[in-house]
Amino acid sequence: MHIHILGICGTFMGGIAALAREAGHRVTGCDANVYPPMSDQLRELGIDLISGYDASQLDLNPDVFVIGNVVTRGNPLMEAILDSGARFESGPRWLADNVLRGRHVLAVAGTHGKTTTSSMLSYILDRVGPPTGFLIGGIAKDHGISARLFGKTGAASTHFVVEADEYDTAFFDKRSKFVHYGPRTAILNNLEYDHADIFPDLASIQRQFHHLVRCIPRTGRIVFNGRDAALAETLAMGCWSEREAFGTETGWHFVSDGSLDFGGERFGALQLSMPGDHNRSNAMAAIAAARHVGVDPRAALDALRDFSGVKRRLELRGEAGGVRVYDDFAHHPTAIEASIAALRGAIARGERILAVFEPRSNTMKQGATRDAIAPSLRGADLAFSFSGAVNWNVADALAPLGEKAQDFRELDLLVAAVCKVAKSGDHILVMSNGGFGGIHDLLLRALARTA
């Protein structure tokens, strides 16, 4: 079968492409800008890429066009597809019908921590569980890839781990992606307001999460954050499956000696290379979910000792002049606060954190969380923002931080300001859900020149 994917360079659609290619299909695709790292990975798989959405691609005559949610009405290729009557479907629908059907699906949902928790869960199953495929919205360092159809050794897999995103499916299907996946095991990490471009309020997101809950069989299991009020409200709408909470004394939790406890049984201590309480919580959820498919929690704990982490999650990009520069995906105030706290707990007393963030997500661009930005940055010693892509006054939002925060609308000025105050022993934490104009390398080069 020939599949042509629109929006192929997004993390999710690129994963779909990799799975389809591994399954033996001919895969081609296009995007507005064919860009790395996904473009490099796809070309290594032998996938032909086209830059842009010219209607002439209709002449490729694939068996099906698979449409990413970046594609809207008015897109010239999409309009040509509709005019011609050619077959098309969404990425999540293609995944459900061609990969997930007949498998035990383990879905990881939540506002934060999906990629890390999915990576942990798939890593545990690789080490001590049944053969498992996966599709993750990032790249776990141990896997080196974002998607795999079969088990680690190429063995046929009856299980599949999927990062279950609440973002909409396509312009013609406004349900959340995860509604299509039909999980038997589901992790619900947390739930708060995000994606202001498609959701008017938290209640509308809760409804989508409850659609997911409604699709889980009664013999399935929901592993949920027992401290999250919004999740509690969602489950109270109706739940027909087994439930296990984490983060509370009545569910999975860590006791005073550091051991992981569930139902009074202690399994041992968690030793994790990734710092931060949020990552300990992610690990707890992954261990609980793995237990549902037969993995002893002790074996899961032992596996996670060797877990190397996930790219763009407090990833050290380099050091120059005694200053360390990190890359982190945090783009929501809750995630920003958690990343700063995690780094603070990992560095020596007295060392400074210089937080550099880009309000790039659609939620940030719309200013939906502007009042939470300053509080989220209080744990940093200095904060720098780049507001070149937003139309509201980020400097005003940072005003409660006083002189410890500055906003810039030009990238070179931001880099110069950070390097001017940076000194040996400092840690520069760069936070964005995009490439941020290559700022990590710009900072490292500038720091090297002034060392």
> Would you list the DSSP string of 254-274?
E-TTSEEEETTEEEEE---SS
- Domain co-membership, 17 together with 115: no
Strand runs (DSSP E) across 26-114, as ranges? 26-31, 48-51, 64-67, 88-90, 104-109
Work out the burial of residue 33: count CB atoms within 10 Å of its CB; fewer than 13 is exposed, 13-18 middle, 19 or more buried.
exposed
- Domain co-membership, 118 together with 38: no
Residue 271 forms part of a structural domain: yes
pLDDT value at residue 172: 96
pLDDT value at residue 136: 93
Give the count of beta carbons closer than 10 Å to the beta carbon of residue 93.
Answer: 17
- The CATH number given to whatever domain includes residue 287 is 3.40.1190.10
| Average pLDDT, integer, range 233-244 | 97
- Domain co-membership, 147 together with 247: yes
- Distance between CA 345 and CA 362 in Å, rounded? 30
**In the chain, what percentage of residues exceed pLDDT 90?**
70
| The residue type at 31 | D
pLDDT (tens digit, 9 = 90+) per residue, 103-131? Answer: 999 999 999 889 999 999 999 999 999 98
pLDDT (tens digit, 9 = 90+) per residue, 376-425? Answer: 999 999 999 998 778 888 888 899 999 999 999 999 999 999 999 999 99
What is the maximal distance between C-alpha atoms in the chain? 65
Task: Give SS3 for 392.
Answer: coil
Find all residues with CB under 8 Å of 81, minimum gap 6, and list them. Answer: 58, 65, 88
Number of domains in the chain: 3
- Distance between CA 75 and CA 92 in Å, rounded? 20
- Domain co-membership, 128 together with 83: no
More confident residue, 154 or 396: 396
- Distance between CA 334 and CA 379 in Å, rounded? 12
- Domain co-membership, 421 together with 359: yes
The pair of structure tokens assigned to 234 is 């969602």
- Domain co-membership, 78 together with 106: no
Residue 338 forms part of a structural domain: yes
Boundary of a domain, candidates 58, 90, 122: 90
- Domain co-membership, 362 together with 438: yes
Closest residue by Cα to residue 10 from 37, 48, 28, 50: 37
User: Containing H/E element for 101?
Assistant: none
Give residue 362's domain range.
315-450
pLDDT at 260 over 80: yes
- Distance between CA 398 and CA 375 in Å, rounded? 9
Boundary of a domain, candidates 281, 304, 327: 304
Confidence of residue 36 (pLDDT cuts 50, 70, 90): low
| Average pLDDT, integer, range 251-269 | 94
Find all residues with CB under 8 Å of 381, minimum gap 6, and list them. Answer: 352, 353, 354, 404
- Domain co-membership, 286 together with 325: no
pLDDT value at residue 438: 87
Boundary of a domain, candidates 261, 279, 304: 304
Q: How far is CA 44 from CA 40, 135, 187, in A?
A: 6, 18, 32
pLDDT at 134 over 90: yes
Residue 218 forms part of a structural domain: yes
pLDDT value at residue 344: 93
Q: Please give the mean pLDDT across all residues of the chain.
A: 91
pLDDT (tens digit, 9 = 90+) per residue, 306-337? Answer: 998 777 888 899 999 999 999 988 778 888 99
pLDDT at 46 over 80: yes
Contact 406, 314 (CB under 8 A): no
- Domain co-membership, 164 together with 199: yes
| Average pLDDT, integer, range 143-158 | 82
Residue 97 forms part of a structural domain: no
Residues 181, 187, 189, 191, CA torsion sign: positive
- Give the chain's length: 451
Lowest mean pLDDT among 53-62, 260-269, 367-376, 392-401: 367-376
**In the chain, what percentage of residues exceed pLDDT 70?**
98
Contact 241, 275 (CB under 8 A): no
Residue 95 forms part of a structural domain: no
pLDDT at 37 over 70: no
pLDDT at 213 over 80: yes
Task: Give SS3 for 357.
Answer: strand
